Structure 1
């Protein structure tokens, strides 16, 4: 069971992780392109504060790491109800984690400003078999790996310009082998790059890595010559 402590109001509550859930053998790892996200949600706190020189303006950032097969493990009904309303994510109890974990998370998951980390923990992290520090630490490690991979560098170097699916597939192949285009799901909305997802196979100790030996087939990327815009901040 998970335990939680209520201190004054819901907003002041702190979630303490109890015994871990069993965890999952498969995770979907999702990375977003924040300028494209902010085009559709400019009212978000993290979008109002975005500047062209901020990390998330020019690098893929963490959307989530989602254990497959379960959600909201041991989470009380009132928290699930709050989670169902994105406007109330910050009303959910804060998750206890080390200050350094939270500081890194705020960089690699800018949605922390709007409570995205709380949504991700309660809906997905509680089913990971990991502590909050373990779950978010692993998520950040994967996000860092992606940003420094060939495909992450391609996106970083193409801010405000266009690339093709073929270019992206070639970069993925350099990172993860010739079949890499089959191992991702590429989300492009109205010609603009929005998100990329991987399905990762966990090791026996429930950790994952962003490499070909851990990846399972997904929807695949279209390796075509169709232009894909890489939005810049404020576009």
Structure 2
């Protein structure tokens, strides 16, 4: 069984809240990081974390993983990446989370942001790892995305996979099927246990669904996607 700790290269750098200008402070727990508590410094960082935690192609990750330095106005400045991600193919991605407005030249802090991103890009280039700037346009993909991802992360964090999980997967095919139809086919199990099983199956990448635009419920259509080992 995969031990995520074997692949952890980084530990979160503790940043005093007064030095971060994020709009909110979040302290969720992450199943992919051993259920430890994270520190996230804006609503957008929290929503980005949800997309990472619920991405079955991600093995593990670390917030505030690494600090780089850069020169601006003849002074040395420091910048910390928002997240390091280890993907299922063992490739690494470093991420900076920004609101779109911060990337516009009319933004008062644009010069600092531009130089910060350039420094991070250069470090990633030298170390042969992928670098991405992610904004609300890529993070907030649909009206139900965040709500559904909160439900999924809460389910897998606080509940074990139910005993019906394999039977639920067997009931799902490559063709789209509403969750209500699965309830009917497995009526000998409580609906809440079937719902929990489907959330686990989605989380692990066995089942696909349009969780961006459809609320997780009876009318959500699910279908089999690329299989993962270790149900």
TM-score w.r.t. the length of structure 2 is: 0.31
Determine which structure has more spread, i.e. the larger CA radius of gyration. 2
**TM-score with structure 1 length normalisation?**
0.31
